[in-house]
């Protein structure tokens, strides 16, 4: 699954729909993650939780609805680390998105959250 943003970024998000669903369940705010520091990522997650205080309950209910055990979902940090891993891996090179001028779009993730913080 490849994501292309309106601001010229693109990147591999998941290897298949099940992985994408897990990402969206545990870190629905992932689109705000590119380029942020570890502290910035936590601030985004905290803000999201402020706006949706029952996020964990909703996540668990949605996971069960699609046949996933909520206890088996990855942590937010693991899901974001996976995004970075995918953006640098060999599959990412095969999923390169090229813009109108023929140049590749900017990668979504250039460093791990831990490296940036």
The residues spanned by each domain of the chain are 2-116
Predicted confidence at residue 74, as pLDDT, reads 95
At 52, the pLDDT band (50, 70, 90 cuts) reads: very high
At 116, the pLDDT band (50, 70, 90 cuts) reads: very low
pTM score > 0.85 for this model? Answer: no
At 117, the pLDDT band (50, 70, 90 cuts) reads: very low
CB burial of residue 50 (10 Å; 0-12, 13-18, 19+)? exposed
Considering the chain, what percentage of its residues have pLDDT values greater than 90? 39
Predicted confidence at residue 10, as pLDDT, reads 87
Q: What is the pLDDT of residues 81-115, one digit of tens each?
A: 888 788 777 888 888 889 888 998 888 776 544 44
| All residues at 6 or more sequence positions from 34 whose CB lies less than 8 Å from its CB, including other chains | 9, 108, 109
């Amino acid at each position: 699954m490849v994501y292309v943003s309106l601001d010229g970024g693109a990147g591999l998000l998941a290897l298949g729909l099940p992985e994408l669903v897990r990402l969206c369940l545990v870190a629905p705010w992932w689109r705000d993650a590119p380029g942020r520091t570890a502290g910035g990522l936590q601030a985004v997650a905290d803000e999201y939780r402020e706006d949706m205080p029952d996020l964990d309950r909703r996540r668990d209910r949605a996971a069960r609805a699609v046949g996933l055990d909520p206890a088996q979902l990855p942590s937010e940090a693991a899901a974001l680390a996976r995004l970075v891993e995918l953006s640098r891996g060999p599959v990412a090179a095969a999923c390169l998105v090229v813009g109108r001028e023929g140049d590749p779009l900017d990668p979504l993730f250039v460093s791990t959250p831990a490296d940036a913080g």
